[in-house]
């Protein structure tokens, strides 16, 4: 508790005055009889736990009947933790309204596009626009803040849980009404809305605001701009809910307030808009167990989280000690894998690494989810690894507050993803996710640290910006990208980018309207390919999924198509634009072919890169110049680390030639 | 405009007095500011456009509030086109009711079998039995006819759009009530209905008309006769809607009235019943882009359209200049492919070839659909091809009014398809569509021109009739086929044909009850095969999907099964019946094996055929004997054309040995 | 009729005084005009039919309007059959309420989890908790019993039809209310319910009974214990419906009452609970036509049916003479296959073998279902086989009342299957059905006769008990299995067994909590594998789907993992426990690898077994010691039978070396 300064308001860093890596997890004592709690706390201390999240699903306990509150359970738990010196991240329980809420307010249930009311009985979902829900959520948050807002154990607030997962949209009446208001604010007049949505197509013109509905299931494809706006609205409606709780808490507490994101894994909320509303960015991350490259995806997610945090330290609010329960095949983590996962997040900027959850549930939907204290108990290997990890983390205090920086960025825009994922695109094989993962993977193997950026963000710090999949680029973003490149930046774009503006509208003139000038070319027609079809490029590379029929207008062809639908035309181009360069690949490149594209671009931007490797190396740096290198060897063979300094674990000197053993993690204070 | 004779009523040919191939497309100026309209018209004239369809999605513009009309937009567009000498095919906008309609009449929404109300926001669908919809649709059609019915620009009426696409059935209350009336008209008494539907099975007997519901989703399989009748009713309900509008227009206009069919691509309406209700048959056709044989399917569709038109000239109301947007992978058309497609329709009897649409949309659900004026503008290859095509068509006036004739027919009956597609058939692999395409393809490659016929139609003109998939054959059809064969015709039937009568009822006695006598055999049991299983025939051929356990009763076995479920029995049979012959194949033949069956049958019918080829050759003939041959070389190599005469494009003499270059189209006036 | 003793109450055996194998089928004269009935009866007599089920779908005929009854049709049919000496199994028609019922009681319709009301028009399904339905069902059953309860033709009652097929659950209001009552009876207090369901997880605590809903579709996964209880409730609600009708009949008739089960093919009702409620167990069985091992699955189903009947004679109420109509590919039965199927049921304890149905329907959903009198009529091979079969059965009277006994049992528990099939299990590849079929198949090929048992049943008669898939084992069952093994039994368990208790709750401590002690090991973590992944075992075997990370605690490793997620650990174990032995395989074994495991276990239990073979041999024994061996040769080659005695068909002596011809069935009275 010594690290907390309750009277000082939160200003920078994620917990005022914190000087330790935070370690712990979600703690749900309500699932256990009181006699287990003491054991829990004892084991937490054994494992070096110094932060737990509580209360996330406690609404029905805290407010057993509407308007009747009973905090005795929570009082006891907070005291117990306080006495043990374990800090509390106090949750508001609004992700799971009590059963009485559903009974009293059936109209608050979320409704699907098909008109199906989603019931209670799982993790609760209600309409974020429901007045009854908003009132109840604000009230319980306020009550909690009044009671615990200055409690010395409470160092952070954890509002709600995973906003937008599993769904964000609701088609209930309150949502439709709120959507209309949102539209009025966005467009001002129906004329502007009709124009933005292109309602002249298919005779959809609106004459009254009241005629506008949510884009429910229809016989054919709904208006894409309407659907896109409804996704925006739905993200905003959830953000309103967050703000409501946050502001209610702030009235009674000066502790930092967060809500746990799911950075790359929940596509339903636009986290660029959320990131500035939280005091600390926190994130939940789970491996896709069956993918053998899930450690690369973990890095992507951590980099995205850090980017949302604007480079500041962040909290890994949840990850798992081993298997989860909700994937098709829930593979357990191999020995050492948990520590590698945890430390990989830390490598990429996390100052806190927590698990879901402290003790494995015996009942309910997630009883097969791993935990710090597994079903197998403290005699298990898993528990041993948890204790070892806690011990190891306790030796890493020096890293607290250090930051990761990147010279290369990848474009990421949820709104573009939403637009691209609507129906009736040129090819179902064109996946933004697949392309971004492909580009990221090549860069990861080359040892290049990545930031993610919105295309409208300040790009001046980056030598190279990749846009693997930016279907929608609004006018401001287009200007920004032009300006970045003209000023000397290196931009690299992959196919089906810059195709539409903010309202899923094709700009006048040839594709890609938003990037035509900077790329120095225009597209006659998209040439999506048959399933599985490939094309040969003049430099021996192979193209997949897509081609464009390109007319060069300033760019030069780096490679042309030898066959396929665009045979004879440019496939990969390079354009000197102002003081910078803009690359374009009009086809899907894989593996070594993509690696060549990416390294050509990096070379243009004077960005150094290594040989492809499974040794992950990331640097964290303090303002005062202290530098730490985290190295994770994901290979099955030992690798030389190439770093000199002091091993933070052993305290021993490390030389350039020292190896990082297969599967091991090493953290070195640079010499 | 000189071609139109507004005072003379429509009598024959599709537009009174027309003497040119019509060329143009759907034109949607409401999607564009006025300043673009002049450019549109200029470009249309550059491309030789002489007919456009307008107003198809303009309801919300023309009637911005219920009962308030504003024709100023349409007045202006019609005048603009008239002044440019471009004829108008004036649409009624009833496929897309305005937003106010849905708000005012929520009960008019279409309801799915599952009870889900389909909302506005896409291309509108409403219950065709809704009184509110019928009233509104008739009213707007009538108003349009009053205003434009004698306008010299308006040469044709285009009612609604693609009736039955994407759906035809609605389970709303008005539809159920109308269904009951339809049933009373069909059956007279409940006793007849109970007997026809076989309600004794599973205890479904009706004691009151009011007990009858639409065949909504149920726990098990709904009564098949009920479902079949509901499909018939739904087709009829849409046809009633068409008649309602048509008759309203006719009160004020003598121009021909059509509605655009989707001949082989929308299975939801029985176009044999519709064909006689329109003044001119018009059709929309789009390639299945990923299929490499999509030019064969195009020919099938065009032949079916011509058959619906009873051989008269018809209108290709929509096709695409390049990619569409609603398929999984929307491949663009290769250079030359658009012209081949257009001229292939013309070869098979179209006197008008139009596109969807004149100018590519920048917004809405179909902005990635190609158009005459593409996003890439007039500098594009696509626009160049459009202009070339218009130029080429302008040289083909001689063909107007000529007809295509066929000596061979293929059976086609939507009602049979509906019945076969219901649940619980012997094998999910038995597809009517697959069989018809397979037979058609063999005949196409052999250069045999095909008509499609309903099994009850007059068959006297045909030397050979194929029934690749005629599961349902009503008693009149059975008589017709017997009579046709007895009188000297050659009938060729594939498996699972003639199995049920009009109400999906198995006739007494062995399968195939409706064809037993003419085929000279009966079936002990169907023998559908395992997925992927094949059987060997005694003549080296291979059977797929199906076999029958056959007892010959007059027919002789042409080939027997060497193995599989019917080993030892007849596989392919031939039966001398009266003065004719009836063939039967009880198994699925592919490729060369089917070719052998088909050519054996053609030989029996004395029908000439060529070697298998990708050179498509079709003849159009005038009553006065002038003959034109259209030849399309779909191969990648040049082919000798084998035709002598005069090339309509170049005006040069063509000799028998002259080649048709790879990918080229040649139209020759025979010597 | 002579076999029936109408005054004596039913005591033992399935029809009082019966001395013949019963043969016949469902008879639905309501589908046919009266003139056909006489022909039907004539043909039934020709085929040796002595029992038919009638009235199953006759409600709309018997009660044409609510409360108005008309039994004239049934009177006539019963008399006709009586006069012909054919016994009647009289159905209550409550599986298909009349159309008027749906119209009068729309609230009685079953509702899906998604809220969709299931309509009439198929085989009727209504909410089993609907008071209107219960009243109407009881009333029609009572009326039938009053009228026919002592009729000499009626030898058995057939209540309803296939309870639980296709669905058992309904989410209507009456069901929710009944569910709450059921829960109150089960749990007494909300506190107990909250604890049992683990409502502390995800904040689902109930404060009022009225807050509890059925587990409707929700945004995420519903509470598994709630879903499991709703399945239990739904099975019980149907059982209540059965009891209601049964008791109404019993007031007026002393004939045995049954309802036709679908033992292994309808997973929706817990037949262990139903088995004791019927006077005679009867079963419907249909082959999975496409599976080449469907004769093994038939044996499994028959063994399960006999196990439900506690070894007593049972009725095969329905099977098919050839193809069914509701599978994807409805393969017809090959010559001889029907008789093999029929006699295989008889081999495993059936004393009656009936078909669906006597005469093939010409209309309705099942007109392509085979029948005793097929569409092809009496000239067909099928009819010939039916007559032959009847003749053959008439020579088997000696078998009536004899029983099959088994020394080996396989665990079977619908409630465990329900629990395992809920969402979010460790691997979607872990299928209880697949494992049970795999174990059964190995045992079948080894000639070992199997009983199925609930894990809590009396196991003292078995030398070996296999638990291939017993995910849920309640405390009583766990005790039972421990006791069985300790007392000298041989227990063999496959992975993911004994994981949860009665409420899908993980017991305290490591997996498998319910079997840890008896197996002598505990599991660190489940190690489900990737799709298609396999692992090598130290003895050359290959593991699939699953592995466990095992710590031995008394057991010894029979085989260890050489690679994969549990490399180095035990894969297959053996534990001496008390006087018995417990085996465990932690991975999926197939084919010969599983055969080795099974035969090792059988050897441990001193159970004899043969070489793997397709010659099926089953013994039926009378109390007086007479033994009959039924042998079915499913191979394509002749096999020596290895049995001496007298062939019941030919009356000739059979020696050990006599062969059973390929495809043949032989029934031998042992010497």
Is residue A318 annotated as a catalytic residue, yes or no? yes
What pLDDT was estimated at residue A615?
Answer: 98
Residues in chain A closer than 8 A to C525 (CB atoms): 322-323, 332, 370, 374, 376, 380, 382
- Residues 148-177, chain A: which have Cβ within 8 Å of C? 166-167
**Residue C4 — pLDDT band, cuts 50, 70, 90?**
very low
Residue B51, phi-psi category: left (phi > 0), alpha (psi -120 to 50), beta (remainder): beta
The pLDDT tens digits for B51-99 are 999 999 999 999 999 999 999 999 999 999 999 999 999 999 999 999 9
The pLDDT tens digits for B47-62 are 999 999 999 999 999 9
Spatial CA neighbour of B408 closest among B225, B593, B609? B609
Residues in chain A closer than 8 A to C500 (CB atoms): 367
pTM over 0.80: yes
The pLDDT tens digits for B193-213 are 999 999 999 999 999 999 999
C663-668 average pLDDT score:
98
Counting residues of chain A whose pLDDT is more than 70, the rounded percentage is 98
Spatial CA neighbour of A45 closest among A24, A64, A26, A62? A24
Would you give the DSSP letter of residue B403?
B
What pLDDT was estimated at residue B18?
Answer: 82
The pLDDT tens digits for C225-253 are 999 999 999 999 999 999 999 999 999 99
Q: Which residue of chain B has the CA closest to C36?
A: B508
How far is Cα C436 from Cα C442, in angstroms, rounded to an integer?
10
What pLDDT was estimated at residue C203?
Answer: 93
Would you give the DSSP letter of residue C446?
T
- Residues 545-584, chain B: which have Cβ within 8 Å of C? 549, 551, 565
How far is Cα C360 from Cα C28, in angstroms, rounded to an integer?
9
Residues in chain A closer than 8 A to B366 (CB atoms): 201, 424
What pLDDT was estimated at residue B8?
Answer: 36
Q: Which residue of chain A has the CA closest to C200?
A: A31
Q: Are strands C542-544 and C534-536 parallel, antiparallel or unpaired?
A: antiparallel
C117 touches chain A (CB under 8 A): no
Closest partner residue to A98 (CB to CB) among C201, C203, C510 is: C203
A649 touches chain B (CB under 8 A): no
Which of B318, B337, B517, B616 is catalytic? The answer is B318
What pLDDT was estimated at residue A122?
Answer: 87
C325-353 average pLDDT score:
98
Average pLDDT, chain A: 96
The answer to whether A149 touches A252, Cβ cutoff 8 Å, is yes
Q: Which residues touch B572 (CB under 8 Å, ≥6 apart)?
A: B537, B541, B557, B558, B559, B583, B584, B585, B586, B587, B597
C31 touches chain B (CB under 8 A): yes
Please spell the DSSP secondary structure of A99-157, one letter per residue. Answer: HHHHHH-GGGB-B-TT-PBPPSSSS--B-TT-HHHHHHHHHHHHHHHHHHTT-TTEEEE
Spatial CA neighbour of B374 closest among A553, A472, A427, A509? A509
B66 touches chain A (CB under 8 A): no
The answer to whether C249 touches C144, Cβ cutoff 8 Å, is yes
- Whether residue A10 is predicted with pLDDT greater than 60 in this model: the reply is no
How far is Cα C549 from Cα A376, in angstroms, rounded to an integer?
11
Residues in chain A closer than 8 A to B334 (CB atoms): 565
- Residues 125-144, chain C: which have Cβ within 8 Å of B? 125
User: ipTM score of the complex?
Assistant: 0.96
- Chain A neighbors (3+ CB pairs < 8 Å): B, C
The CB density around residue A73, as the number of other CB atoms within 10 Å, is 15
Percentages helix, strand, coil for chain A (3-state, rounded to 5) are 30, 20, 45
How far is Cα B31 from Cα B358, in angstroms, rounded to an integer?
12
Q: Per the CB < 8 Å rule, is B506 touching C363? A: yes
The pLDDT tens digits for A261-272 are 999 999 999 999
Token pair recorded at residue B638: 């040049």
Q: Per the CB < 8 Å rule, is B61 touching A205? A: yes
Distance of CA B80 to the CA centre of its chain: 33
**Residue B7 — pLDDT band, cuts 50, 70, 90?**
very low
Closest partner residue to B219 (CB to CB) among C65, C110, C381 is: C110
What pLDDT was estimated at residue C497?
Answer: 98
The CB density around residue B608, as the number of other CB atoms within 10 Å, is 11
What pLDDT was estimated at residue A217?
Answer: 96
Please spell the DSSP secondary structure of B259-277, one letter per residue. Answer: -EE-TTT-TTS-HHHHHTT
Would you give the DSSP letter of residue B333?
P
What pLDDT was estimated at residue B469?
Answer: 97
Q: Per the CB < 8 Å rule, is C120 touching B217? A: no
How far is Cα B175 from Cα B186, in angstroms, rounded to an integer?
16
B217 touches chain A (CB under 8 A): no
Please spell the DSSP secondary structure of A606-665, one letter per residue. Answer: T-----S-SEEEEEEE-TTS-EEEEEEE-SSS-EE----EEETTT--EE-TT-EE-TT-E
Residues forming beta bridges with residue B573, ordered by sequence position: B557, B584
The residue ranges of DSSP E strands in C519-614, in sequence order, are: 521-526, 534-536, 542-544, 548-552, 556-560, 570-577, 580-585
Residues in chain B closer than 8 A to A565 (CB atoms): 331-332, 334
Q: Per the CB < 8 Å rule, is B203 touching C364? A: no
Counting residues of chain C whose pLDDT is more than 90, the rounded percentage is 96
Compute, in degrees rounded to 10, the torsion defined by CA atoms B594, B595, B599, B602. Answer: 70
What pLDDT was estimated at residue B122?
Answer: 87
- Whether residue B310 is predicted with pLDDT greater than 50 in this model: the reply is yes
- Whether residue B3 is predicted with pLDDT greater than 80 in this model: the reply is no
What pLDDT was estimated at residue C17?
Answer: 74
How far is Cα C543 from Cα C559, in angstroms, rounded to an integer?
11
Compute, in degrees rounded to 10, the torsion defined by CA atoms B35, B40, B42, B45. Answer: -160
Q: Per the CB < 8 Å rule, is C216 touching A167? A: no
Spatial CA neighbour of A23 closest among A81, A86, A77, A76? A86
- Residues 329-358, chain A: which have Cβ within 8 Å of B? none
Average pLDDT, chain C: 96
Token pair recorded at residue C370: 């085979």
CA–CA distance from C90 to each of C27, C84, C150, C635 (Å)? 10, 16, 12, 39
Distance of CA A257 to the CA centre of its chain: 18
Residues in chain A closer than 8 A to B96 (CB atoms): 202-204
B427 touches chain C (CB under 8 A): yes
Residues in chain A closer than 8 A to B28 (CB atoms): 200-201
Closest partner residue to B99 (CB to CB) among A211, A511, A523 is: A211
What pLDDT was estimated at residue A14?
Answer: 63
Q: Per the CB < 8 Å rule, is A102 touching C204? A: no
The CB density around residue C150, as the number of other CB atoms within 10 Å, is 14
Token pair recorded at residue A231: 């996704």
The pLDDT tens digits for C434-485 are 999 999 999 999 999 999 999 999 999 999 999 999 999 999 999 999 999 9
Spatial CA neighbour of B316 closest among B396, B371, B389, B261? B261
- Whether residue A96 is predicted with pLDDT greater than 70 in this model: the reply is yes
B636-640 average pLDDT score:
96
The CB density around residue C424, as the number of other CB atoms within 10 Å, is 18
A223-250 average pLDDT score:
98
Q: What angle do CA B503, B506, B512 make, to 5 degrees?
A: 120
Average pLDDT, chain B: 96
What pLDDT was estimated at residue B12?
Answer: 43
Counting residues of chain B whose pLDDT is more than 70, the rounded percentage is 98
Closest partner residue to B215 (CB to CB) among C117, C121, C362 is: C121
A426-443 average pLDDT score:
98
How far is Cα C328 from Cα B425, in angstroms, rounded to an integer?
8
Is residue A162 annotated as a catalytic residue, yes or no? yes
Q: Which of C121, C162, C372 to mutate to test the interface with B (most CBs of B within 10 A)?
A: C121
Token pair recorded at residue C168: 């058992």
**At residue A643, what are phi and psi to the nearest 5 degrees?**
-130, 140
How far is Cα C349 from Cα C449, in angstroms, rounded to an integer?
12
Which of A169, A318, A337, A437 is catalytic? The answer is A318
How far is Cα A490 from Cα C664, in angstroms, rounded to an integer?
80
Spatial CA neighbour of B418 closest among B182, B236, B180? B236
Distance from CA of C508 to the nearest CA of A (A): 7
Please report how the helices B381-393 and B337-347 are oriented relative to each other, as an axis angle in degrees rounded to 10. Answer: 30
Q: Which residues touch A466 (CB under 8 Å, ≥6 apart)?
A: A408, A409, A410, A411, A439, A443, A492, A493, A494, A598, A601
Distance from CA of B210 to the nearest CA of C (A): 8
Q: Which residue has the tokens 């006495």?
A: A83
What pLDDT was estimated at residue B669?
Answer: 97
**At residue A469, what are phi and psi to the nearest 5 degrees?**
-165, 85
Q: Per the CB < 8 Å rule, is A115 touching B117? A: yes
Omega prior to C319 cis, within 30 of 0: no
How far is Cα A260 from Cα A258, in angstroms, rounded to an integer?
7
CA–CA distance from C85 to each of A50, C71, C74, C81, C88 (Å)? 85, 21, 16, 6, 9
- Whether residue C295 is predicted with pLDDT greater than 80 in this model: the reply is yes
Closest partner residue to A123 (CB to CB) among C202, C213, C504 is: C202
Please spell the DSSP secondary structure of A500-550, one letter per residue. Answer: B-TTS-PPSSSB-TTTHHHHTEEEEEE-PPPTT-EEEBTTS-EEES--EEE
C206-214 average pLDDT score:
97
Task: Determine the number of helices (DSSP H) and then strands (DSSP E) in chain C.
Answer: 17, 27
**Residue A326 — pLDDT band, cuts 50, 70, 90?**
very high
Q: Which of B33, B57, B99, B372 to mutate to test the interface with A (most CBs of A within 10 A)?
A: B99
The CB density around residue B669, as the number of other CB atoms within 10 Å, is 17
Would you give the DSSP letter of residue C14?
S
**Residue B14 — pLDDT band, cuts 50, 70, 90?**
low
**Residue C123 — pLDDT band, cuts 50, 70, 90?**
confident
Distance from CA of C379 to the nearest CA of B (A): 9
Please spell the DSSP secondary structure of C201-259, one letter per residue. Answer: GGG---SSGGG-------SSPPPHHHHHHHHHHHHHHHHHHHHHHHHHHHTT--S-EE-
- Whether residue A12 is predicted with pLDDT greater than 60 in this model: the reply is no
Q: Which residue of chain C has the CA closest to A335?
A: C565
The answer to whether A528 touches A566, Cβ cutoff 8 Å, is no
Q: Which residues touch B297 (CB under 8 Å, ≥6 apart)?
A: B264, B287, B288, B291, B437
Which of C169, C318, C337, C437 is catalytic? The answer is C318
Which of A162, A169, A337, A527 is catalytic? The answer is A162
The pLDDT tens digits for C139-155 are 999 999 999 999 999 99
HEC-encoded secondary structure of C248-310: HHHCCCCCCEECEECCCCCCCCCHHHHHCCCCCCEEECCCCCCCCCHHHHHHHHHHHHHHHCC
C627-649 average pLDDT score:
97
What pLDDT was estimated at residue C122?
Answer: 86
What pLDDT was estimated at residue C9?
Answer: 38
What pLDDT was estimated at residue B495?
Answer: 98
Residues in chain C closer than 8 A to A125 (CB atoms): 218-220
């Amino acid at each position: 508790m010594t690290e907390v300064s309750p009277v000082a308001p939160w200003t920078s860093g994620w917990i005022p005055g914190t000087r330790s890596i935070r370690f712990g997890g979600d703690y749900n004592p309500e699932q256990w009889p009181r006699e287990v709690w003491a054991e829990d706390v004892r084991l937490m201390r054994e494992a070096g736990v110094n932060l737990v999240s509580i209360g996330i699903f406690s609404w029905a306990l805290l407010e057993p009947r509407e308007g009747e509150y009973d905090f005795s359970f929570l009082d006891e738990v907070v005291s117990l933790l306080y006495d043990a010196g374990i800090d509390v991240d106090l949750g508001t329980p609004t992700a799971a309204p009590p059963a009485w809420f559903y009974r009293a307010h059936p109209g608050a249930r979320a409704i699907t596009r098909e008109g199906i009311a989603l019931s209670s009985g799982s993790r609760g979902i209600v309409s974020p626009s429901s007045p009854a829900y908003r009132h109840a959520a604000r009230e319980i948050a306020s009550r909690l803040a009044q009671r615990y807002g200055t409690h010395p154990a409470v160092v952070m607030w954890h509002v709600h849980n995973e906003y937008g997962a599993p769904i964000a949209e609701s088609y209930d009446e309150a949502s439709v009404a709120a959507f209309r208001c949102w539209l009025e604010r966005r467009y001002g007049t129906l004329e502007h809305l009709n124009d933005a949505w292109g309602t002249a197509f298919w005779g959809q013109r609106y004459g009254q605001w009241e005629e506008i509905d949510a884009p429910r299931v229809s016989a054919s494809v709904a208006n894409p701009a309407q659907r896109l706006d409804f996704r925006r609205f739905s993200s905003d409606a959830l953000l309103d809910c967050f703000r409501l709780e946050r502001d209610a808490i702030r009235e009674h507490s000066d502790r930092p307030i967060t809500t746990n994101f799911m950075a790359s894994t929940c596509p339903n909320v636009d986290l660029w808009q959320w990131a500035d509303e939280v005091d600390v960015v926190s994130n939940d991350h789970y491996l896709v167990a069956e993918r053998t490259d899930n450690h690369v995806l973990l890095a992507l997610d951590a980099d995205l989280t850090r980017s949302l945090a604007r480079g500041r330290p962040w909290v890994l609010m949840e990850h798992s000690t081993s298997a989860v329960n909700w994937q098709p095949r829930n593979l357990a983590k191999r020995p050492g894998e948990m520590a590698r996962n945890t430390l990989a997040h830390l490598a990429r900027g996390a100052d806190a690494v927590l698990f879901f959850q402290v003790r494995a549930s015996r009942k309910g939907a997630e009883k097969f989810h791993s935990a710090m204290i597994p079903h197998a108990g403290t005699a298990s290997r898993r528990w041993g690894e948890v204790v070892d990890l806690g011990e190891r983390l306790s030796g890493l205090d020096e890293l607290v507050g250090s930051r990761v920086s990147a010279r290369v960025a990848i474009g990421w825009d949820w709104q573009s993803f939403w637009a691209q994922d609507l129906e009736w695109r040129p090819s179902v094989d064109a996946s933004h996710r697949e392309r971004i993962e492909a580009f990221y993977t090549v860069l990861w193997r080359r040892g290049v640290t990545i930031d993610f950026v919105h295309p409208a963000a300040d790009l001046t710090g980056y030598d190279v910006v990749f846009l693997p999949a930016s279907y929608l680029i609004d006018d401001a973003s287009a200007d920004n990208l032009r300006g970045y490149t003209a000023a000397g930046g290196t931009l690299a774009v992959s196919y089906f980018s810059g195709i539409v503006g903010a309202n899923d509208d094709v700009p006048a003139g040839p594709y890609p309207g938003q990037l035509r000038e900077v790329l120095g070319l225009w597209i006659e027609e998209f040439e999506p390919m048959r399933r599985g079809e490939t094309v040969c490029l003049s430099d021996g590379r192979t193209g997949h999924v897509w081609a464009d029929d390109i007319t060069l207008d300033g760019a030069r062809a780096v490679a042309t198509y030898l066959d396929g639908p665009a045979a004879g035309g440019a496939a990969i181009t390079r354009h000197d634009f102002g003081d910078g360069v803009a690359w374009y690949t009009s086809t899907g490149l894989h593996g070594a072919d993509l690696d060549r594209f990416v390294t050509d671009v990096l070379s243009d931007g004077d960005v150094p890169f290594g040989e492809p490797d499974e040794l992950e190396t990331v640097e964290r740096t303090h303002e005062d110049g202290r530098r730490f290198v985290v190295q994770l060897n994901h290979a099955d063979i030992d690798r030389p680390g190439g770093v000199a300094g002091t091993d933070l674990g052993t305290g021993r000197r490390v030389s350039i030639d020292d190896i990082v053993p297969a599967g091991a993690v090493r953290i070195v204070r640079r010499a």
